[in-house]
Amino acid sequence: MKTEFDAAIGVPPPSPIDVDRLIVRGRRRALLRRVVVAGAGGGVAAVAAGVAVAVQLGGGAAGRPAVVADKPSVAAASPSGATPKSEPAHPRSVLPTFDSTPTPAAQARATETRLTQALKDVVDAKAPGYTFAATEDGPAFKVKYLYHARTESNRGFDSYYGAANLAGPTGFGNLAINVGRTGPLWSHTGECRADQPECTWTTDPDGARVLRQVIRENGIVDNYVIVERPDGNTILIVAANQGGQLDTGSGRQADPVLTIDQLVAIAKDPRLYV
């Protein structure tokens, strides 16, 4: 019967699926959604897509000063009344004795709902004229709570993730964002490697530490930004020149759909917080 099926199918058209691009998108997805991984006593790992940025777990040796994790959260003063989830402060050189636990479901759902609307509003304000479409992860900017469970060697951590495909004045492309509380379980390495020429870390006048990076790989270009805000939120946001991991075609245009400056403006908007 297989023979008859094959005869019925006939000769397929050439495949538009580019394996190299699948791999590039897979690396990007790994960076955005699972970001990280450092051993409880080890350093930072998790370098995907050639980016020296990672979420750091468990206070390993990062080569960077400790992040004070119990800064007051903007959520505390938020009219939404959401209770912020905070981690105790401790220097990175001292391993915490607690394990991260998932945010209570009701609180996570409330934050998802708030961030879903906030993300649409902020992107519309900072990058007007774009329409939002669904991605492989769900409806446009439908924010999801992600808890990365503790494993034998890693402590758990959590963040909120949303994405959309944007179409507008500069073309088409995927925009993905990850919002989390800065702390020993969610921070960055704060370094650009020598093989990353389009990568800079700055401390802006408002006190935010900002990574601005362009990643070029196999025709796909990502504008990649991390903003560690003084209010205790760290936001990772990436714009591409095509439609996310499942878009296996080439870039729709030369540059990502949003500029680095637009991404920084979005990431600094106080409406995006946890």
Partner 1 sequence: MQRTDEAAYREYVTVRMEVLRRTAYLLCHNWHTADDLVGATLAKLYDKWRRAQQADNVDAYVRAMLVNVWLDERRRPWRREVSTEWLPDVADVAPPPPGENADLLALVRALPPKRRAVLVLRFYLDHSVEETAEMMGISTGTVKSQTARGLETLRAAISNVSGVQ
Residue 105 found at the interface with partner 1 (CB under 8 A): no
Inter-residue contact 47 to 179 (CB < 8 Å): no
Residue 194 found at the interface with partner 1 (CB under 8 A): no
Residue 9 found at the interface with partner 1 (CB under 8 A): yes
Compose the 30-69 pattern: x for residues touching partner 1 by CB under 8 A, - for all others.
x---------------------------------------
Count of chain residues binding partner 1 (CB under 8 A): 38
Residue 245 found at the interface with partner 1 (CB under 8 A): yes
Q: How far is the CB of 139 from partner 1 (least distance, A)?
A: 5
Options 50, 102, 138, 219; binder of partner 1; rule CB under 8 A? 138
Q: Which is nearer to partner 1, 215 or 274 (CB)?
A: 215
Q: How far is the CB of 146 from partner 1 (least distance, A)?
A: 13
Options 40, 45, 167, 214; binder of partner 1; rule CB under 8 A? 167
Residue 94 found at the interface with partner 1 (CB under 8 A): no
Which residues of this chain interact with partner 1, rule CB under 8 A? 1-2, 4-10, 12-17, 19, 22-23, 25-27, 29-30, 133-136, 138-139, 165, 167, 172, 243, 245-246, 248-249, 252
